Amino acid sequence: MKTRITELFEIEHPIIQGGMHFVGLAELASAVSNAGGLGIITGLTQGTPEKLAIEIARCREMTDKPFGVNMTFLPAVRPPDYPGLFEVIVDSGIKVVETAGNNPSQWLPMLKEADIKVIHKCTSVRHALKAQKIGCDAVSVDGFECGGHPGEDDVPNFILLPRAAEELEIPFVSSGGMADARSLVASLAMGAEGMNMGTRFIATREAPVHDNVKQALVKATELDTRLIMRGLRNTERVLTNVGVERLIEKEKALGADLKFEDILPEVAGIYPRVMQEGDVEAGAWSCGMVAGLIHDVPTVRELIDRIISEAEEIINRRLVGIQSA
């Protein structure tokens, strides 16, 4: 498939692996890129410029195809060394950066000067238009179904994607609820130039996470996610578990008096325990409603090849057949 996204990022298939904490490591990013998509290393998982440089070098040993780095801007008691991290990105010759969270305008001149393409993750049309205005090359439009932070507008992709198509001039990809060929064809029909998958890529052989995590996704249904931290205006969609239900009880009990410190045991330091040690009940970890569409743990190449071949079949047989009927 050729779209504006495949041409912009010089990839074979219009499929992007989103940045995911303690998941977007070289093993997964290189596998996605080798299979024709765009793999993404999660910058903040590395934490320091030195570690990010090592991870980029590791990825380069595993693929000669394009891959990118995700940089997320979120409030933090101890902010990451963003200047150092971006310097590593530029010096390492990375050509694609996925940004998320706050406005990335501070870093765009540096990235543009290095001829780096920027795709910004947005949860609303107004944020997507802002990203376009400040000079982002593309956006990832993240619907309410997504794992992680869906924003506060609660607009699902059947509305959000067509609205983005009405307003945007730069190319965009769908994100949130994306799992298979049906997701890709529907996204293209609604104006997107490809799709971004997060949760679905966790349940692949190459994803560098504990098997308990992959099996939890296979077992889960579309009803097994919860929204947390709504009262803090930092809404996150996570897979339900013992720790999450405990967190939700705290939110109910404290109501408007809830402070972030009250739920620290269920959110701080959870990702290494879940992704590396396999303690899937430890607390809050991001998961999309798309878990209901995850039924196996294929290799990345098997997954992407399946998506592309089935998408072509849907377009060339089913849809053409409907038109001819």
pTM, two decimal places:
0.96
Query: Which residue reads 């219009």 in tokens?
Result: 14
Q: In b/e form, how buried is each residue of 91-120, taking b as 16+ CB within 10 angstroms?
A: eeebbbbbbbeeebeebbeebeeeebbbbb
**Residues of the chain where predicted confidence (pLDDT) is lower than 50:** none
CATH top-level class of 4-209+298-324:
alpha beta
Enumerate the β-bridge partners of residue 173: 140
What are the Cα distances from residue 74, in Å, to 15, 71, 179, 307?
25, 10, 27, 33
Residue 77 has a pLDDT of 73
Q: Is 300 helix (H, G, I), strand (E, B) or coil?
A: helix
d(CA 78, CA 312): 47
Structural domain spans, the chain:
4-209+298-324, 211-289
What are the angstrom distances between the C-alpha of 241 and each of 145, 216, 273, 278, 286? 18, 10, 14, 13, 12
With beta carbons less than 8 A apart as the criterion, state whether 157 and 145 touch.
yes
pLDDT of residue 322: 87
pLDDT of residue 325: 60
